[in-house]
Structure 1
Amino acid sequence: MKKINYFLSALTISLCTISCSNSVSDDFDDMNNDAVKKRLKKISTNQNGESLTTSFSYDGNSKLTGVSSDFDGEATSIQYTNTGDLLNISGQGLSETLNLEELFQSPYNAYQLGQVVSYDDNRNPSKISFQEEVYNYNSGQYETIELTADIIYDEAPNMYFSTLEAAGVIAVLDKVQLDFSMNPQASELVKASELLPMNNPIKFIYKDENGNVSATIDISYTYDQDNYPINAIAVLNSGSSSETSAVNFSYN
Structure 2
Amino acid sequence: MKKINVTLFMLTAVLVGFSSCDSDDSVSDMFEDANGGDVAQNLIAQVTVESNDPTEADRNITVNYASDNSVTSVNDGTDTAIFSYEGGALSQVTGSGDALNIMELYEAPLDAFEIGEVLSYDSNNNPSLLSLVEEEFDGTLTFYEATITYDSEPNPTFYTLQAAGIIEVLDQTELSFSMIPDPAEIVLARMLYPLNNPNGMVIRDESGAVVVTMSINHVYNDDDYPTSSTVTIDSTDDGASAYVLTYTYR
Distance 1:238 1:95 in 2: 28
- How far the C-alpha of 1:105 sits from its partner, in A, is 3.9
Give SS of 1:94's match. Answer: coil
Is the Cα–Cα contact under 8 Å of residues 71 and 164 in structure 2 kept in the other structure?
A: yes
1:130 lines up with 2:112 in the alignment: no
Q: Structure 2: how far apart are the matches of 1:63 and 1:215?
A: 37
Decide which of 233, 243, 247 is 2:245's aligned counterpart. 247
TM-score by length of 2: 0.82
Q: Which residue of 1 aligns with 2:81?
A: 76
The answer on 1:98 being equivalent to 2:96 is no
What CA distance in whole angstroms lies between the structure 1 residues aligned with 2:145 and 2:223? Answer: 33
SS of alignment partner, residue 28 of structure 1: helix
Q: Does 1:26 align with 2:29?
A: yes
- Residue by residue, what CA displacement relative to the aligned partner does 1:74-130 show, whole Å, maximum 9, x if unpaired? 11111111x011111122333673344x346425366x7342100011110000112
Q: Which of 88, 92, 95 pairs up with 2:92?
A: 88
Q: Residue 13 of structure 2 aligns with which residue?
A: none
Is 2:54 the counterpart of 1:51?
no
Q: Cα distance, 1:157 vs. partner?
A: 1.0
In 2 relative to 1, CA 89–243 (structure 1 residues): closer, same or farther, beyond 3 Å? same
Once residues 18 and 186 of structure 1 are traced to their aligned partners in structure 2, the CA distance between those partners, rounded to angstroms, is 18
Alpha-carbon contact 1:230-1:249 (below 8 Å) kept:
yes
Which amino acid letter does the alignment assign opposite residue 128 of structure 1? L
Unaligned runs of 5+ in 2: 11-17, 177-181
Task: Tell me: CA distance 1:17–1:10, structure 2 relative to 1, closer, same or farther (3 Å).
Answer: same
AA partner of residue 175 (structure 1) = Q
- Which of these residues, 108, 111, 123, is aligned with residue 111 of structure 2? 108
Identity %: 28
CA RMSD of aligned residues (A): 2.5
Task: Give a deviation string over 1:15-68, Cα, whole Å, max 9, x none.
Answer: 985643221101101111111111110010011132111110011111111011
Report how many aligned residue pairs link the two structures.
229
The structure carrying a bigger helix percent of its residues is 1
Quickly say closer, same or farther: Cα 1:187–1:17, change in 2 above 3 A.
farther
- Structure 2 distance, partners of 1:67, 1:19, is 31
Give the match's secondary structure for 1:106.
helix
Shift in alpha-carbon separation, 1:222–1:99, aligned structure 2, 3 A: closer
- Normalised by the length of structure 1, the TM-score is 0.82
* 1:179-212 Cα distance to aligned partner (Å, 9 max, x none): xxx5795443322111000011111101112221
Q: Is the 8 A contact 2:21 2:125 kept in 1?
A: no
Equivalent-residue separation in structure 1 for 2:218 and 2:69 (angstroms): 26
Listed as ranges, the gaps of 5+ residues in structure 1 are 1-8, 136-140, 177-181
